[in-house]
Chains A and B, each alone.
Chain A
Amino acid sequence: MAEKEIKGYEGLINRASGIYGLLKYFPEDMSDEEVEGILHVLPKDMSSAIRAVMAPRIRKTSLALLKGMQQWFDGAMEARAQGKKIILVPFNFPPEFVYCFENAYPLTSEVLTVAGVAALEGQGERYWDYAMGLGLPDYLCSSNTIELGSALTGADFEPDAIISAAPGSCDANSKIHEFVARYLGVPQFILDKPVDDSPRGRKAYRTCFRYLVRDMEEFAGEELSEDRMREVLTRANQATQLYYDLWELRKMRPNPCPNLFTLYAYAVRYVLWGTDIGLDILRSMIDTVKDRLDKGLYPAEEEVARCFWIYTYYYWDWYGFFNRMEERGITVLGDLLGSFFFQPVDTSSRESMIDGLADTCWDYAMTRQVGAQSMSAQWADDIAYWTSQLDADACIYCGHHSCKQTWSVFSMVRSEIMKRSKIPTLMLQGDSWIRRMTPMSALDEQIDEFVNNVLKRKRATAATEVG
């Protein structure tokens, strides 16, 4: 019955790629008038996302990113047409690994969800509903279930195989990938993270990664070429350097890096790492941020609070979340899913590159923290490091309902952050990819209350004590 509700052209990837395909007609230097004109004709949900990204302070880079996304979608369509294998990967897996194959192309499920939620009228709800209609539980993670729900309809652009890197760090993510692989009848390749911080654990992980290489080589019908790997990973290393350059700029007070750029940086990380397009977008971001730093620009009169989101954001109202927050003087310094500890990959040999990729996976967002031997200890360590680096005033936990592993140790982590970094953490509750659960107005209210009653008061008390 549910199949009849979604027609072939209505799958998330099909619809989103069509919409992003229109972006190539946007001029590089759109005027405010042109933007206003577009906003008037766009459907409401898409108009909200476009309004956010077309804010004058970020417009140029936003266009670069959106066009990069469009090329990513186009690349998938071309790859399919050329008979290459489309590999669906989770966000906690480096797409550059797939780019190392001549005959394979990566699509990242959570990024597809975000792209769909931003671009589609009705956001991703119909795909979520479809998944629920099959009997999947309503506490699954919408970040992947929206895109995978679309794949389950049988009416969308489908992957040829799925790589799952979440066993060991997220049950919800790994199980839905497993379910979809079986349902579609495509292979699922597993990269299991041992919850073992010892050298033995790392060795086991590298061994598991080598099995993944073997499986992928067999599936793609090619042996990884050392030259191609070196090419891709050299670009990935350049991207890593640019990522750290941007990170350095985010330390400035007031923060010259617009809130949305933190999202852009990891959009690039999750889909375009190892590509020239990715490098161009990162450079564009850095140029914009440097320019803002030179001119002392900040979207509000005062930077009231610098907040680090200790897990992830909300993705269904970019304007309300990213833009309006910075216009109220609240800086989004970053979040865990967009903060990394990558080392450049040693490109001297095929083996060193494979080990480097395995190490990148080991340190990937989520895998590194909640795939660690102690979820709370590693998570708290990393937050303490990032908040001190970025000079954060506070932390915020979005409380995405499906993140059971983070929920299960949040209480300990919040105490540790207060103990070590002396900064408070606001706990919110909501669904990060579906707007139905908690409206932005309710989230705004809680954030404002936190900023006004906790942060401002804290600052006032400190000033009184000093003065």
Chain B
Amino acid sequence: MRTMQSQSTDLYSEYVRDWKEKGGKVLGYACVATPVEIIEAAGVLPYRIKAFGHPDTELGDAYLARFNCRFCRSCLQLGLEGSYDFLDGLVETNGCDHLRGMFENWQHVKKYDFFHYLKVPHFLREDSLEYFTDELALMRDAVAGFAGTEISDDALREAIDTYDEVNAKLKRLYALREQTPPAVSGTEVMQVLCTGSSMLGRDFSDLLDEVLEEKAKARVTDYKARLMIMGSATDEVDLIADIESTGALIAADALCFGSRSFWTRGGESGDPLALLAERYLGHLFCPRMFNDYERRIEYVLDTARRAGVDGAIITYNKFCDLHGVESVSQRMDLERAGIPVLVLEKDYGSKADTGRVKTRVQAFLERLGK
């Protein structure tokens, strides 16, 4: 766990540095719709772009605008100022309007030799699955060309198996958090997830074994209320820590850096690319997907019930249209289900927001009678 703590908020972590020193290539991606299995099957390290350090965003603001979400502006800032120079290329997805702008600007300035645009449909249907499967074939060819290798079906299956293992272990970690009393805090889980998002699946799987063993008998007892957190993309370990510092325990989440990235990854196809298409597009519990709200809210409610939470925090970054609108329906449905909700619009990574966030969470805990 100490390894996690030290590496979880380090962009160029010891792990990544070692990988690069051994001649390994790294591809950056930002969206949970990116099948990392394809990248890993090519022997390349898939690296989820984060905005650790919450830098000032002068460069990000010069290209994006103050009406774009600060998470994207922060990532762009880090990209343009050189913090991400260890990346050998980028994989863009059309996750949201802000993300698209971030990637366009980033590539415009840095001009990576490898830049691949994975186009993800906004709905799930036979025709969109077919389109996305073709997209994955294009991505496989592009990544293979970049890595100078072939990506065989066997290599893909192996990578899929690896991530199945990772996902199963993450579920065990989540179970440790959901149990009463929990064995692990929300902050620790976020640290694990952030660390893992900069590692090969097979190495993350080994690290998870260590964490699970270490945490099996641990107990967290000093908390007043069990909360669930959900909302837009955030890697903010600090945010979770701030919330937990008020006496809350984040016992469950529906975040895209969290459970939404691995919880449901089902599929039946024998062909590995078609299987990946099913696993990703078919289980992309993100408000960017249309005609799919019922499944998303069902997932959220199931998660909340399983973890036995006292309330839920819906958090999103200012200017996030997808989660900003979704939060209203979610709040209504959660409250209808008897789960009190705190909606927390915030600026990503802003230290200036810390006091306000804590105050609102404290008030929420009082509302819950905790």
* Interface residues of chain A: helix, strand, loop or mixed (majority): helix
The one of B68, B98, B100 in contact with A195, judged by C-beta atoms closer than 8 angstroms, is B100
CB distance from B364 to the nearest CB of A (A): 15
Contact with A along B129-172 (1 / 0, CB 8 A): 00100100000000000000000000000000000000000000
- Report the separation of the CA atoms of residues A265 and B309 in the bound assembly, to the nearest whole angstrom: 55
Across the interface, do A196 and B287 meet the contact criterion of CB distance under 8 Å?
A: no
Provided the pairs A404-B321, A407-B64 are in contact, do residues A135 and B119 lie with their beta carbons within 8 angstroms? no
Task: Please measure, in the bound complex, the distance between the C-alpha atom of A40 and the C-alpha atom of B322, giving whole angstroms.
Answer: 45
| Cβ–Cβ < 8 Å partners of A201 in chain B | 119
22 pairs, A vs B, C-beta closer than 8 Å: A137-B324, A137-B325, A139-B318, A139-B319, A140-B321, A170-B97, A171-B96, A172-B321, A176-B325, A178-B290, A182-B329, A195-B117, A195-B119, A196-B119, A207-B127, A402-B67, A404-B321, A405-B101, A407-B65, A408-B100, A409-B104, A412-B104
B residues 41-84 in Cβ contact with A at 8 Å: 62-65, 67-69, 72
Does A401 lie within 8 Å of B325, measured CB to CB?
no
A373, B117: Cβ atoms closer than 8 Å = yes
The distance in angstroms between the C-alpha atoms of A79 and B196, with both chains bound, is 57
B122 touches A190 (CB 8 A): yes
Which residues in B have their C-beta under 8 angstroms from that of A407? 64-65, 67-68, 101
Contacts of A176 in B (CB 8 A): 325
A321 within 8 Å of B (CB atoms)? no
Complex alpha-carbon distance, A405 and B72, angstroms: 12
* Nearest CB in chain A to that of B135: its residue: A196
Query: Is A168's CB under 8 angstroms from B68's CB?
Result: no
Determine whether B198 belongs to the interface, using a CB cutoff of 8 Å to chain A: no
- A188-B325 contact in complex given A137-B345, A170-B97, A207-B127, C-beta closer than 8 Å: no
Residue of A nearest to B331 (CB): A135
Q: Which A residues are in CB contact (< 8 Å) with B131?
A: 194, 200, 204
A401 CA / B68 CA spacing, docked (Å): 10
Q: Is the CB of A175 within 8 A of B127?
A: no
* Mask of A153-196 contacts with B, CB within 8 angstroms, 1/0: 00000000000100110111011101100110000101010111
Residue among B68, B100, B321, B327 making CB contact with A375, cutoff 8 Å: B100
| Ranked 4 nearest A-B pairs via Cβ | A408-B101, A137-B324, A405-B97, A407-B65
A136 interface residue (CB < 8 Å to B): yes
Chain B CB within 8 A of A211 CB: yes
Chain B 93-107, CB within 8 Å of chain A: the 1/0 string? 010111011101100
The distance in angstroms between the C-alpha atoms of A140 and B325, with both chains bound, is 9
Q: Residue B121 at the A interface, CB < 8 A?
A: yes
B362 contacts A by Cβ under 8 Å = no
With a cutoff of 8 Å between Cβ atoms, the chain A residues found around residue B329 in the complex are 179, 182-183
Residues of B within 8 A of A109 (CB): none
Contact A192 B98 (CB under 8 A): no
B117 and A404 contacting across the interface, CB-CB below 8 Å: no
> Which residue from chain A places its CB closest to the CB of B327 in the assembled complex?
A135
Q: Are A171 and B322 in contact (CB under 8 A)?
A: yes
Chain B interface residues toward A at CB < 8 A:
62-65, 67-69, 72, 94, 96-98, 100-102, 104-105, 108, 117, 119, 121-123, 125, 127-128, 131, 134, 287-288, 290-291, 293, 318-319, 321-322, 324-329, 331, 343, 345
Q: How far is the CA of A140 from the CA of B108 in the complex (A)?
A: 28
Q: Which residues of B contact A323 (CB under 8 A)?
A: none
A408 is contacted by which of B104, B325, B327 (Cβ under 8 Å)? B104
State A361–B306 Cα separation when bound (angstroms): 44
Contact B104 A139 (CB under 8 A): no
Could you mark each residue 200-227 of chain A with 1 if its beta carbon is under 8 Å from any beta carbon of chain B, else 0?
1100100110010000000000000000
A residues 26-43 touching B (CB-CB < 8 Å)? none
| Chain A 261-287 interface mask (CB, 8 Å, partner B; 1/0) | 000000000000000000000000000
A108 within 8 A of B: no
Chain A residues lying within 8 Å of B321, measured Cβ to Cβ, are 137, 139-140, 171-172, 175, 404
A410 at the interface (CB under 8 A from B): yes
Q: Which residues of B contact A370 (CB under 8 A)?
A: 97
Q: A178 with B121: in contact, given A171-B97, A409-B101, A411-B63 (CB under 8 Å)?
A: no
Query: Chain B residues near A139 (CB, 8 Å)?
Result: 67, 318-319, 321, 324
Q: Are B104 and A374 in contact (CB under 8 A)?
A: yes
A396-428 CB contact bits vs B (8 Å, 1 = yes)? 000001111101111110000000000000000
Instruction: Tell whether, in the assembled complex, residue B343 and residue A410 are in contact, meaning their CB atoms are under 8 Å apart.
Output: no
A55 beta carbon closer than 8 Å to chain B: no
B326 to chain A: which residues have CB within 8 Å?
175
Q: How long is the Cα–Cα vector from A404 to B104 in the complex, in angstroms?
A: 14
Q: Is the C-beta of A134 less than 8 angstroms from some C-beta in chain B?
A: yes
- Which residues of A (106-155) have their CB < 8 Å from a CB of B? 134-137, 139-140
Q: Does A376 sit within 8 A of B, measured CB to CB?
A: yes
Residues of B with C-beta under 8 A to A405: 97, 100-101
Contacts of B101 in A (CB 8 A): 375, 404-405, 407-409
Q: How far is the CA of A168 from the CA of B321 in the complex (A)?
A: 13
- Asked whether A204 lies within 8 Å of B127 as measured between CB atoms, the reply is yes
On chain A, the number of residues with a Cβ less than 8 Å from chain B's Cβ atoms is 47
Identify the interface centre among A167, A175, A402: most chain B CB within 10 Å of its CB: A175
- Specify which of B62, B72, B324 is in contact with A411 (CB 8 Å cutoff): B62
Question: Chain B residue with minimal CB distance to A172?
Answer: B321
**B319 CB contacts on chain A under 8 angstroms:** 139, 404
Report the minimal beta-carbon distance from B222 to chain A, rounded to whole angstroms. 33
B119 near A404 with CB under 8 A, answer no
Complex Cα spacing A404 to B67, Å:
6
Given A137-B345, A174-B290, A196-B119: A412 touches B63 (CB 8 Å cut-off): yes
The interface residues of chain A lying within 8 Å CB-to-CB of B72 are 408
**Residues of chain A contacted by B331 (CB below 8 angstroms):** 135
Rounded to whole angstroms, the CA-CA distance of A182 and B328 in the bound complex is 11
Known interface pairs A136-B328, A192-B290, A404-B67; 4 further A-B residue pairs with C-beta atoms within 8 A, sorted by A's residue number: A175-B322, A192-B123, A201-B119, A409-B105
With contacts A140-B321, A405-B101, A411-B63 taken as known, whether A134 is within 8 angstroms of B94 at the C-beta atoms is: no
Distance, CA A370 to CA B287, complexed state (A): 19
Closest chain-A Cβ to B349's Cβ sits at a distance in Å of 18
Residues of A within 8 A of B119 (CB): 194-196, 201, 373
Residues on B with beta carbons closer than 8 Å to the beta carbon of A375:
100-101, 104
Q: Which of B108, B288, B328 interacts with A412 by CB under 8 Å?
A: B108
Assembled-state Cα–Cα distance A404/B108 (Å): 18
Best-buried of A140, A204, A370 by chain B (most CB within 10 Å): A204
Supposing A172-B321, A175-B322 touch, asked if A208 and B117 sit within 8 A by C-beta, the answer is: no
| Interchain CA distance A281-B134 in the complex, whole Å | 46
**How far is the CB of A191 from the nearest CB of chain B, in Å?**
10
Kindly state the separation between the CA atoms of A164 and B63 in the bound complex, as whole angstroms: 29
Chain B: which residue is nearest A207 at the CB level? Answer: B127
Instruction: Name the A residues within 8 Å of B343 (CB-CB).
Output: 135
A174 to B329, CA, bound (A): 15
A211-B94 contact, Cβ under 8 Å, with A375-B101, A401-B67: no
- Give a binary string over A10-39; 1 marks a CB under 8 Å from any B CB, 0 the rest: 000000000000000000000000000000
Query: Taking CB as reference atom, which chain B residue is nearest A402?
Result: B67
Contact B322 A408 (CB under 8 A): no
Minimum C-beta distance from B29 to chain A (A)? 16
Q: How far is the CB of A337 from chain B (nearest CB, A)?
A: 17
Q: Considering only CB atoms, which chain A residue lies closest to B131 in the complex?
A: A204
Residue of A nearest to B318 (CB): A139
